[in-house]
Structure 1
Amino acid sequence: MPDFCAAYGCSHERNNSLSLAPFLTFLRFPKDNSLKRQWELAVKREGFVAAERSLLCSEHFKPDDFDRTGQIVRLRHGVKPSVFNFPSHLQKVCAPFG
């Protein structure tokens, strides 16, 4: 079963085919509730709550967000997705809820 990127307007999907660009990876939402909520707000989808299988593709992160020092490329601690192509009505900055 394919999994799709949860970002607004993103059509990337993870499946078993080799059709994806080799550099594209998929990241699960964090288990830490505070950071998870920040990711949920970052995707700017009204009422969105990440499920256990919710993903974001690596295109929604800056290159500096990744730690490439070891054999496995990992997302740096505390990083939030910040690269999106929102329509104009969603481009204003939203303050996170307390």
Structure 2
Amino acid sequence: MPASCAAWGCTNRCTIENRSRGITFHRFPKDNELRRQWEVAIRREGFSSSEFSVLCSGPFKPEGFDRSGQSVRIRDGAAPSAFCFPTHLQRVGLSSLDYLIVYN
């Protein structure tokens, strides 16, 4: 079964068609702090990633990728940040640090 992107509202699945369009899929980091940053960034209430959870390349900025090898990798410390959230999920006046403090 193809993996589906865990980002809110994203319908990308890890298929040959999507990969041919340049969409890559990346597992959540093993580092607990960075994993938590990714989980908070996607803004899915009650979401907890598993070893099989993935995000597609859509929510990452281009500079967050290392394309120097045969496979596309996320650079160390890169976190997803390029989302198109509906109004009720958009932050108003809060930095990402404020969001972590308020909701943890």
- How does the TM-score come out when normalised to structure 2? 0.83
Q: Between Structure 1 and Structure 2, which shows a larger proportion of helix residues?
A: 2
Q: Which residue of 2 aligns with 1:83?
A: 82
How much has 1:67 moved relative to structure 2?
A: 1.8
Give secondary structure in 2 for the equivalent of 1:56: strand
- How far, CA to CA, are the matches of 2:72 and 2:44 in structure 1? 28
Alpha-carbon RMSD across the aligned residues, in angstroms, is: 1.6
**For residues 63-92 of structure 1, what are the alpha-carbon distances to aligned partners after superposition, in whole Å with 9 as ceiling and x for unaligned?**
011122344332111010011110001110
Q: Between Structure 1 and Structure 2, which shows a larger proportion of strand residues?
A: 1
Q: Which residue of 2 aligns with 1:19?
A: 17
Q: 1:31 to 1:10 in 2, by over 3 A?
A: same
Structure 1: which 5+ residue stretches go unaligned? Answer: none
Q: How does 1:1-98 map to 2 (within 5 A)?
A: 1-15=1-15, 18-22=16-20, 23-92=22-91, 93=94, 95-97=99-101
- How does the TM-score come out when normalised to structure 1? 0.88
- How far, CA to CA, are the matches of 2:31 and 2:37 in structure 1? 10
- How far, CA to CA, are the matches of 1:70 and 1:8 in structure 2? 29
Structure 2: which 5+ residue stretches go unaligned? Answer: none
Superposed structure 1 runs of 4+ greater than 6 Å apart: none
User: Which residue identity does 1:79 align to in structure 2?
Assistant: A
Work out the percentage of aligned pairs sharing the same amino acid: 52
Q: 1:62 to 1:71 in 2, by over 3 A?
A: same
